[in-house]
Structure 1
């Protein structure tokens, strides 16, 4: 990104298209001067909405509200002006054209407002990522997790761990600088205890079963079974629309059809797959291969069989959760119903029988796999990699420091170096160190205007 803090950036901060209000955000040293040129307003009170007419020379662009936020008490830490005008493509195009004509102004890059907030110390990287997740949140559980992270809960936890590491490092470096001064055995026991507690806390944080990441990305649920077991009908019922073709012809579904659902506030990506059977048709065979691969990587599998038919168990796979279903039970006689397997839930999407129980069961599994509780949760692979690196250095430092007071063979310098590397790894997660190395990676995923 060829960015400069001397640039004044602008963007449409609301969704493009027809709407009641369109919000244009401007941040940088020229924000207030531009406000004066466009509206004639001078010295408006920060954080108060003011009625204004935006002009391009003599031409009126639109009437609306403007708000000013003076540095450093703003989202980016810079002077910010927000213009709230009527929503509509013509107004948006005209306003963006006028802003682009202002001296020193340029269109913002994706995530550049949040990037400036990080660089100006208004938030750390994990909080900025939480803002991006909050924008993308589609379910209530995702919203809660993203809001918690955007308000700094995750960053505060990591910052506290880093502070503890640096405090321990100070003791160790004292030994390196003053080797003739022995620390009391009580102090050594305290240092070892702190290191062990840190290791245990970070290890427990990492050993979360991927709950935070799964909640952010959505639980993967596959619907599998033999042809004509009712897979596509079940998908359509879950989606509340005709997302897949339903036919009595075996092999109708030949590709993986994916639908995003909100069940119990949790995000679920459900896939209808090709019927599992032996086939000589090359296209159907490829569909079955894709179905098997998708199902084997899923977090939850709905294993269907026609209530009066045979099951087609999925071969291979991992230890993912499974819900076994007997479908089309409305077509069965009482005698046939009595013969159904006890491990399978009986459902009929045509009559609704058993469907409420199925939704409840899916919601329960989703909660087990994604409920992160009150503690801040890992949400990204970048966090996990940084914490794993930190834990590795801590463990090596702990091994080197496993000594009794006064033992001469301890390499204090090596212990200190591992502690420095552990603190550095944590600092990269929050953006406290090496921030320029990871800014482009983090903010490339953001939308323009945020």
Structure 2
């Protein structure tokens, strides 16, 4: 890391203030060249930026000496007026002075490589920048603060303690060691095994906070799915007509419920059809609904007897929305309500055209989403990469437990491999291509 890098750290375009960051060994000389008199480290100073005898701007300049900086290197920030011409002039001057434009995520990658952050914390930085909801902000801030890393480090320590006992049994079989020293590793490994099982059972929660909780509106044509979607998102996101089969594709609309990101999808009406385009829409509807976290089966109250066709299609946890309840036959709705409630479904009777009814449904959905995503513990995985490594560690651990008492050498190797799988999450040992993939998703200037 001999290069000195620079980048615009604030959003591009016209603004009151723009921040340009610099990091690397030549930072002090760059600041000296532009200001004539660099401010003291960690002290803001108002300076006129000048290059090749031409004034660029009046700027607030801050300088940080490594390792007490974000990247761990000497670094600086120029707070200038946010006009495009000002920013372009400053970036051009920095390039003339020998610095180069940073690659996406390069500032944070340098922080990782200089030991300022581990890999999980670095991913938390990226998630915090991308956070759109309160739930995403809390999760990303917790990950940046080390909540995820601390959990992995505790698991790794348990593995190392167990590994010490197993290796003692392997390396010093004739020494005066306590009997069954290898067996003493089993209790800690069993505890860790149970914790990994629980973490894997909860593995989707962190990713759903990041990517969005998926809610599918499914049902027959003309049941009122599109009208309900428009009511939930409070705008005309889907076309509503009396013609069956109007919705041909999946319409995804983002929404914030209970402080969490939600994707609500209106889907094509599910029915048998000879129309090739509509049939493809039905296939996509089924596929999206299959992967959804919650499915709302919307039923036309005038045809409530036909809900019997849902047998074998509805799964536990689905909701049944009895639509047009304001004009449908009350006794038939009550019968359907009793039947499906007895099957363990949540049944909601409403009119999708009633603002008050839709607001009540939105409030119920917000409560459901918050309950599903706000676990008591910080999630053990917020990305697919984490889940893959947890699964790998769990497999090695299970094999180690079966080997203790039979082949202690193999058990010790499996425990070692389990520890390495956890280390990959925080970046203690991680191949270059994984680092490149993680940091390439960052914006330039971070």
TM-score (norm 2): 0.91
What is residue 406 of structure 1 aligned with on the other side?
none
Q: Give the deviation of 1:437 after TM superposition.
A: 4.2
Moved more, 17-26 or 167-176: 167-176
Cα deviation code 1:158-205 (max 9, x no counterpart) = 122222322322233233332211521375554222222222222222
- 2:211 equivalent to 1:207: no
SS at match of 1:15: coil
Residues 319, 85 of structure 1: CA spacing in aligned structure 2 closer, same or farther, 3 A cutoff?
A: farther
- 2:26 equivalent to 1:30: yes
Cα deviation code 1:403-443 (max 9, x no counterpart) = 3xxxxxx4332222222212211111111113424201211
Among candidates 371, 374, 382, match of residue 385 of structure 2:
382
Among candidates 232, 240, 246, match of residue 234 of structure 2:
240
Asked whether the 8 Å contact 2:232–2:358 carries over to 1, the reply is: no
Residues 411, 250 of structure 1: CA spacing in aligned structure 2 closer, same or farther, 3 A cutoff?
A: closer
In 2, distance between residues paired with 1:384 and 1:264?
Answer: 25
Residues 320, 141 of structure 1: CA spacing in aligned structure 2 closer, same or farther, 3 A cutoff?
A: farther
Among candidates 7, 14, 19, match of residue 18 of structure 1:
14
Asked whether the 8 Å contact 2:302–2:329 carries over to 1, the reply is: no
SS at match of 1:283: helix
Asked whether the 8 Å contact 1:275–1:288 carries over to 2, the reply is: yes
- 2:429 equivalent to 1:447: no
Q: Give the deviation of 1:122 after TM superposition.
A: 0.6
Asked whether the 8 Å contact 1:10–1:107 carries over to 2, the reply is: yes
- 2:91 equivalent to 1:112: no
Which runs of 5 or more residues in structure 1 are unaligned? 404-409
SS at match of 2:299: strand
Among candidates 125, 145, 155, match of residue 149 of structure 2:
155
Among candidates 2, 13, 34, match of residue 6 of structure 1:
2
- 2:372 equivalent to 1:372: no
In 2, distance between residues paired with 1:259 and 1:124?
Answer: 35
Among candidates 56, 62, 67, match of residue 61 of structure 1:
56
Residues 318, 112 of structure 1: CA spacing in aligned structure 2 closer, same or farther, 3 A cutoff?
A: farther
What is residue 363 of structure 2 aligned with on the other side?
360
In 2, distance between residues paired with 1:373 and 1:114?
Answer: 30
Among candidates 393, 397, 408, match of residue 394 of structure 1:
397
Moved more, 317-326 or 411-420: 317-326
Residues 303, 88 of structure 1: CA spacing in aligned structure 2 closer, same or farther, 3 A cutoff?
A: farther
Q: Give the deviation of 1:143 after TM superposition.
A: 1.0
What is residue 193 of structure 1 aligned with on the other side?
187
1:253-268 → structure 2 map (5 Å cutoff)? 253-268=247-262
Residues 58, 330 of structure 1: CA spacing in aligned structure 2 closer, same or farther, 3 A cutoff?
A: farther
Cα deviation code 1:41-100 (max 9, x no counterpart) = 23x222222212222222222222111111001111111111111223333322222222
Q: Give the deviation of 1:238 after TM superposition.
A: 1.8
Residues 81, 226 of structure 1: CA spacing in aligned structure 2 closer, same or farther, 3 A cutoff?
A: same
TM-score (norm 1): 0.90
Moved more, 239-248 or 166-175: 166-175
Residues 325, 412 of structure 1: CA spacing in aligned structure 2 closer, same or farther, 3 A cutoff?
A: closer
- 2:102 equivalent to 1:102: no
Q: Give the deviation of 1:277 after TM superposition.
A: 2.5
- 2:81 equivalent to 1:81: no
Asked whether the 8 Å contact 2:10–2:19 carries over to 1, the reply is: yes
SS at match of 1:399: helix
- 2:317 equivalent to 1:321: yes
In 2, distance between residues paired with 1:352 and 1:335?
Answer: 24
Asked whether the 8 Å contact 1:224–1:276 carries over to 2, the reply is: yes
Asked whether the 8 Å contact 1:256–1:271 carries over to 2, the reply is: yes
What is residue 344 of structure 2 aligned with on the other side?
none
Greater share of residues in helix: 2
Cα deviation code 1:371-402 (max 9, x no counterpart) = 2323343111111111221222222222222x
When the two structures are aligned, how many residues end up with a matched partner? 437
Asked whether the 8 Å contact 1:276–1:288 carries over to 2, the reply is: yes
Which runs of 5 or more residues in structure 2 are unaligned? 342-346
In 2, distance between residues paired with 1:392 and 1:335?
Answer: 54
Moved more, 11-20 or 431-440: 431-440
In 2, distance between residues paired with 1:218 and 1:295?
Answer: 15
Residues 272, 314 of structure 1: CA spacing in aligned structure 2 closer, same or farther, 3 A cutoff?
A: farther
Moved more, 121-130 or 305-314: 305-314
What is residue 115 of structure 2 aligned with on the other side?
121
